Amino acid sequence: MTAPEPSPAPPPGSSPGLSAEGVSKRFGTVQALKDVTLTFPPGQVTALMGENGAGKSTLLRILTGDHRPTEGRVLLDGQALDLNSPQDARRAGIRIIPQEPEIIPHVSVAENVYTGSLPRTGLRRLDRAELRRRITADLKHLGFDKVLDPDLLGSELTAAQRQLVEILRAMTGQVPPRAIAFDEPTSSLSEHEVEALFALIGRLRAEGIAVIYVSHRMKEIFQLADGIAVLRDGQVAGVVRAAATDESALVRLMVGRDLSSLFVRQQVATDRVVLDVKNLTTDDVSDISLRVNAGEVVALAGLIGAGRSELALALAGDAPIRSGTVELGGKALRLRDPRAAITAGIGLAPEERKAQALFLQRTIRDNTSLVSLGRLRRWRFVSHRQEKALAQEFADRLRVRAPSIEAEVRTLSGGNQQKVVLARWLARKPDLLILDEPTRGVDIGAKAEIYQIIADLAREGTAILVISSELPEVLGLADRIVVMQNGRTTGELTRDQATEEAILALAMADDLATGTTAHAPTGDTR
C-alpha cells in the first residue's frame, strides 16, 4: 500500500485553513470539549487522535455544523463561520465522511450520491442519461470505477461500498470542498479500496484541500499524516509533526501513560474440548473442522471473503448448516436458529455491533440483560431490581463509561458500546464466546481493556474464538491460529509457529499455488 509523501505541518494558526478557536462544548453537566484551538491547514493531512470519549466526534460535529459550540468559534481562512446546520458547512465547502454512512435503501448508488441535486428534464423527471454521465465521470475521476457499481441499490451495498458512496457525496456538488474530515474511513474497506482511498487523499492534498483524518490505526496515521493533533478528556493534549514522533509517544499523549504491554499472554488452556466442529459445510464455507478447548483462545485469520464471519454465523445458529457436525461439551447440537445456540451455551459478538448486536435506542440495562431475561423472571415477570443489579455489576466490571446504566447505548463511544456487547455475554456465561472483530473502531486504551477481558474469560475456562483483521492482535491474543481462504481452512499454527509471514502464506495458499496475484495486506487480514 502506498501513501502520499508527507510534508512538514505548520503550527496551528500559522496558515489559512479550517480552524477551531477556543471551542468548548457542554452537554448539560458534561464538558465534552474545553478551550480547543486547532488549525487544519490546506494541502495537508492532519490526523485527529484520542481515546473514545476524548472529544473527537464532538469536534467534528462542530466543524461540520451538526453542533454549535458553547464557547469559541469556527473559522475558514481567518473568517468566522456561522454554522447552524450541516447544510451551512457544506455550502462553505466543509464535508465529513461519517463512520456510519447514511444510505437510502431503495434507490441506486447514483441517486444516493446526488441526493438533493439530481439532474432533471424539462418535465422535472429524473434525467437518467445525465445521471449516468455524471456518475461515470465521477467514479473514474476518483478511482472508484473498478470497485463500485452505480446501478446497485442502497440495500444491496456492503459496508465498504456504503463508505465509498459517502466519499462520492462529499466530493461532488456545486461548491468544491475546502476541508474534508474522514471518520474511521478504512474500518470496513478491503485492501484494494484502501489503496484507492489513499490515492484520493493524495489528490486532495495536491489540490490544496485540508484533510482531517480520524483513525485508531497507527500505521495509517504514519503513512498519511503531516501533522497529528491529540485530544484527551476534551482538551488538546498535543500537536506534533508525524515525522517527528512515534507510536509510543502518541500513546502517552492519548492516555497519559505508557502501555508497555497490550496483551496478557497466559497459558491457561486445558485439554477439555468445548467446541468440536467436524466437516461443517454451509452455503459459504466448506468442510470446516476445528476445536477450541476450555480456557483457549483460537483466532480465525484470513483475507477478506475468506468465510470467517460466515462460519461464526453458522456456529451461532444464524446460517443454515448443510452437512457436518457441531458438538459443545461433547453434546451434538442442532443449530436451527440463534435461540438454539444461546440455549446450548454459545455467544456471538458480531462484526457490526450497531447493526447486528445493539438496540441503540435502548439503555445499557436493556442491552446487557437481553439474553439473560429467563433467569431474571419471577413467574412471568422480569425482576426489575435483579435486572438493574445484573447490568450494574457488569458495567462496573467492564468499566463502561456512561452517566448510568439507564443511558441509551447510542450515546456511548464505540469502545463503550463494544463493552456493552461483551457485558451481555459475560452476564450469560456461555461455554463458547465468538468475538468477531472485537476491537474494530476502538481506541488503544479500550483495546487494552478488551484484551484484559478476553484474558480473564479464558482464565475462567471460557472457550474463545476470535476473528480479527489485525495480525498483531491475532498474534498477541491467540493460543492457536486457524487460517481460512475461499471458505475453507488452509492451515493451523500454534503460538510458537505463528508469524505474520506464516499467516499470510496460508491466507493466500490457493493464490500462491496457482500463481494468481493477490492483494496481500500488511498487518491486516480483513
Q: Which CATH number fits domain 273-514: 3.50.50.60, 3.40.50.300, 3.30.1330.200, 3.30.70.660?
A: 3.40.50.300
- Phi first, then psi, for residue 322 (nearest 5°) are -85, -40
Lowest mean pLDDT among 217-231, 329-343, 381-395: 381-395
Average pLDDT rounded to a whole number, residues 177-190: 83
Lowest-confidence pick of 254-263, 318-327, 394-403: 254-263
d(CA 250, CA 219): 12
Max mean pLDDT among 85-89, 138-142, 331-335 falls in 331-335
Least confident stretch, 71-80, 275-284, 332-341, 395-404? 395-404
For residue 216, count other CB atoms closer than 10 A to its CB: 24
Cβ–Cβ under 8 Å, residues 243 and 8: yes
C-alpha cell at 266: 497466559
- What sign results for the dihedral spanned by CA atoms 177, 178, 182, 183? negative
- Maximum mean pLDDT: which of 52-61, 157-166, 343-352: 343-352
Half-sphere exposure of 517 (CA within 13 A, CB side): 1
Band of residue 511 on the pLDDT scale cut at 50, 70, 90:
low
What is the predicted pLDDT for the residue at 346?
96
Average predicted confidence (pLDDT) for the chain: 86
Alpha carbon distance 325, 306 (integer Å): 21
404 contact partners, CB below 8 Å, separation of at least 6: 364
89 membership: H or E segment, kind and range: helix 86-92
- Of 267 and 228, more confident: 228
Q: Amino acid identity, residue 319? A: A
CA 316 – CA 334 distance, rounded (Å): 11
Pairing assessment for the beta strands 210-214 and 273-281 based on DSSP bridges: unpaired
311, containing H or E segment = helix 308-315
CB 351 within 8 A of CB 440: yes
Number of helices (H) and strands (E) in the chain: give both, helices first. Answer: 17, 22
C-alpha torsion angle, residues 259, 181, 196, 218 (rounded to 10): -10
Q: What is the rounded CA–CA span in Å between residue 209 and residue 366?
A: 44
pLDDT tens track for 470-488: 888 899 899 999 999 999 9
Report the relative pairing of strands 71-76 and 18-27 from DSSP bridges: antiparallel
pLDDT of residue 515: 55
User: Is residue 514 predicted with pLDDT exceeding 60?
Assistant: no
Sign for the CA dihedral angle at 186, 188, 193, 195 comes to positive
Q: In what order do the strands lie in the sheet with 323-328?
A: 288-293, 273-281, 323-328, 331-332
* CATH superfamily of the 19-255 domain: P-loop containing nucleotide triphosphate hydrolases (3.40.50.300)
- Name residue 240's beta-bridge partners: 228
pLDDT-based confidence at 144, cuts 50/70/90? confident
Pick from 131-140, 175-184, 504-513: least confident: 504-513
* Mean pLDDT of all residues in 41-64: 90
As given in the structure block, the three cell numbers for residue 270 are 486445558
The answer to which of 4-13, 33-42, 376-385, 405-414 has the lowest mean pLDDT is 4-13
Measured distance CA(326)–CA(334) in Å, rounded: 8
- C-alpha separations of 407 from 399, 422, 502 in Å: 14, 17, 45
DSSP for residue 401 = -
Share of the chain above pLDDT 70, in %: 92
Mean pLDDT of 120-143: 87
How sure is the predictor about 279, in pLDDT bands with cuts at 50, 70 and 90? very high
- When pLDDT is cut at 50, 70 and 90, the band that residue 525 belongs to is very low
Q: Look at the pTM and tell me if it is higher than 0.85.
A: no
Cβ atoms of 265 and 296 closer than 8 Å: no
Which of 2-6, 304-308, 344-348 holds the top average pLDDT? 344-348
In this structure, the strands spanning 179-183 and 210-214 are parallel
Phi, psi of 475 (to 5 degrees): -65, -35
pLDDT at 15: 54
Q: Among residues 336, 345, 387, which one has the least CA distance to residue 366?
A: 387
Q: What is the CA radius of gyration of the chain?
A: 24
Mean predicted confidence (pLDDT) in 192-200: 81
Nearest to 35 by CA among 26, 44, 22: 22
| Mean pLDDT for the stretch of residues 224-230 | 95
Q: Where are the domains of the chain?
A: 19-255, 273-514
User: What DSSP element (H or E) covers 91?
Assistant: helix 86-92
CA distance 183 to 50: 12
Contact 12, 38 (CB under 8 A): yes
What does the alpha-carbon distance between residue 409 and residue 425 come to, in Å, rounded to a whole number? 16
What would the DSSP string read from start to end of 459-489?
Answer: HTT-EEEEE-SBHHHHHHH-SEEEEEETTEE
Write down the H helix ranges in 105-239. 109-113, 128-142, 159-171, 191-206, 218-224
Quick one: pLDDT at residue 523?
40
Given a contact cutoff of 8 angstroms between Cβ atoms, the answer to whether 315 and 326 are in contact is yes
273-514 matches 19-255 in CATH topology: yes
pLDDT digits 0-9 by tens, 409-467: 988 877 888 899 999 998 899 999 999 998 877 777 778 888 888 999 999 999 999 99
Q: Give mean pLDDT, residues 61-75.
A: 94
Lowest mean pLDDT among 70-84, 226-240, 390-404: 390-404
- Residue 388, C-alpha cell as written in the block: 438493574
Taking the C-alpha atoms of residue 100 and residue 441, their distance in angstroms, rounded to an integer, is 11
Maximum distance among all Cα pairs of the chain, rounded to whole angstroms: 75
Neighbours of 97 (CB within 10 A): 24
CB atoms within 10 A of CB 474: 24
Dig out the grid coordinates for 209 from the structure.
484541500
pLDDT of residue 122: 76
Give the count of beta carbons closer than 10 Å to the beta carbon of residue 257.
9
Q: For 74-94, what is each residue's pLDDT tens digit?
A: 999 999 999 999 889 988 999
Q: How far apart are CA 200 and CA 204, in angstroms?
A: 6
